[in-house]
Chains A and B, each alone.
Chain A
Amino acid sequence: MINGNTALNIDNIRLNSHEDLDALRQKIIDSHDPDQPEVLVCHGTGCIANGSKEVMAAFEKICADSDIDVKVMPGIKATGCQGLCSKGPLLRINPQGLFYQQVKPGDVEEIVQKTIIGNEPVERLLYKDPKTGEAIHTEEEIPFYNLQERIILKNIGKIDPTDIHDKISVGGYQALAKALNTMTPEEVVTEITNSGLRGRGGAGFPTGRKWQGALKAVEKKGGPVYVVVNGDEGDPGAFMDCAIMEGDPHAVLEGLILGAYALGANKGYLYIRAEYPLAVKHLEMAMEQARAHGLLGDNILNSGFSFDAQINRGAGAFVCGESTALFTSIEGKAGTPRPKYVRSVEEGLWGNPTVLNNVETWANVPLIIEKGADWYSKIGVPKSTGTKVFCLVGKVNNVGLVEVPMGSPITKIVDEIGGGIPSGKPFKAVQTGGPSGGCIPNRLKDTPMDFDSLTQAGAMMGSGAMIVMDEHDCVVDVGRYFLRFLEEESCGKCIPCRLGLTKMREILDNFSSGKGSEKDIEDLTSLAKAIQDGALCALGTSAPNPCLTTIKFFKEEYLAHVNDQKCPAGVCKDLITYSIDPDACTGCRSCARQCPQDCISGKKKEVHVIDEQKCIRCGICMDTCKFNAVLVS
């Protein structure tokens, strides 16, 4: 907390019991005047990119310079991602709970005068209902939020992730205190098993079963057991683990400590992607503050249980998120997958039993322990319980972080919460699960987003990226995009992946230049099957999924490329031509001025024409024309 009520001096006190924790919590709550204004500035990745740091600086400066009454001097907090990233920078103002969007530093003076001092909203910064245009005041009234069920994201965007007291005041470490006081380690494992929780890292392995497997291995061979957080999130389009680590680091840490207690681990690792410095920083601060409070380290809450953890920064490769590659990377070797016919719960780090779970999986653990398996398993659908956080990106109106019960239909997420696609037409397809997932067409928009339904559709839950596509996205191009990504990320150890992905991509390259045949589609499918069957790790075995699903669901679009040399979406450059519609062209000359080839001619106020021979199909003219006169075919 920057300004406001910081009189409370309770730093660095060790808590020795659940009562101590409750007393501290009460003290923090009491010290906070509920009427004191509070400004929450989103500091998620999206909002920082849109300038939220400058907005924060403006608040600090203006509040410091002005002579606001101390009673209304706002506390200013930087929070994690508040969710609706496409409308950032976002701001929440308490106690009214006002939701401001697209705030610029220049708006701050007015916000301070009008809202903080005058207790009145700044109309133009409020969210507008896209249909009625009516201004909406609070988050709770916005469909993007009120159609979600936010249990993992509940505190993200509302607390200061760098302040453990903020977390404690909303119930942080209650689950840990409860478990240490009233539950045996076996009871914790049982609770997780009964909750039905499945791993959020992609494959959906039942978490309780994984933990039991590790316990059996310890029983068999003894020795230490490790708990590990997989924070290597590298899917294009995915940022939920980043948002959780940055916005609520204590949730991950508390989950990890609970897991360690359940499994009897004294040492844990947090493997975090190198490109996430803020997540590393917040988790480091969280661990330091937790240690100072006796919530991490020796003799946690005076229970006799000791556990500590350390952060390992990822090696910057997508494949290091794969469990065996992640372990070799933590062990200090090159992160290369190894064959695992012995499960890593038995032989993980340094050959010892190891439980690796995803960031979001760990963040679910405290909730389950606090509220019980019964409560948890009622959320979602029977075989996929709880909620899932999705990153909604691509051609969708509301880009951001969405949390819904497992099994929610795609259309609820994309059309209702996401507000549909910008053109107002139905979306064409949704890519779930990133490069290992699949492309689901609009006609299957009622598919429930749960592990088994997605696998059945040939896609995959993956980590939770949902990339929305419209009619200007070409499925051949989508297949090429993901294959190119994986070609770059392949570790190169096994032949199906190292050579096969390139070969698949080359066949698709041919399609996009009109050089394919129907036999090529057959070959592509058969080669894809060989890679699925033959590759050593899941990067390779799942790599053909995006391409295979597009062939399965959009065969006619492939045939158009192959038989008619046409790209229906107007994306594959070799197969399209640009022309100008004489009836729509006003002769404004914008396109001609922008064309890098100088190949658009025409006099002012007269119809323009494109010289097809010189045109390099960059599409700039189409983006430039305000009259929709440039056509692509």
Chain B
Amino acid sequence: MAGTLRVNPIACTGHGVCAELLPELIAVDEWGYPLIDPRPVPGALERGARRAVSACPALALRIARIEEPARSG
């Protein structure tokens, strides 16, 4: 299933664990919060993406189906 990584910015506490596990798709900003590649997760990185999701201690990271709305108005 094609999906993109998405962080819940309210839940995210800026641990940066995700960026350590998946530097190909996640960087951290100068305050320690994740900057996520918005493109669909390529097949070769799907396992890594799932690992990052389950490693997030705040349960803030998930793989979203592409068509989901991003945010509220």
| A and B associate | no
B residues with CB within 8 A of A: none
A residues with CB within 8 A of B: none
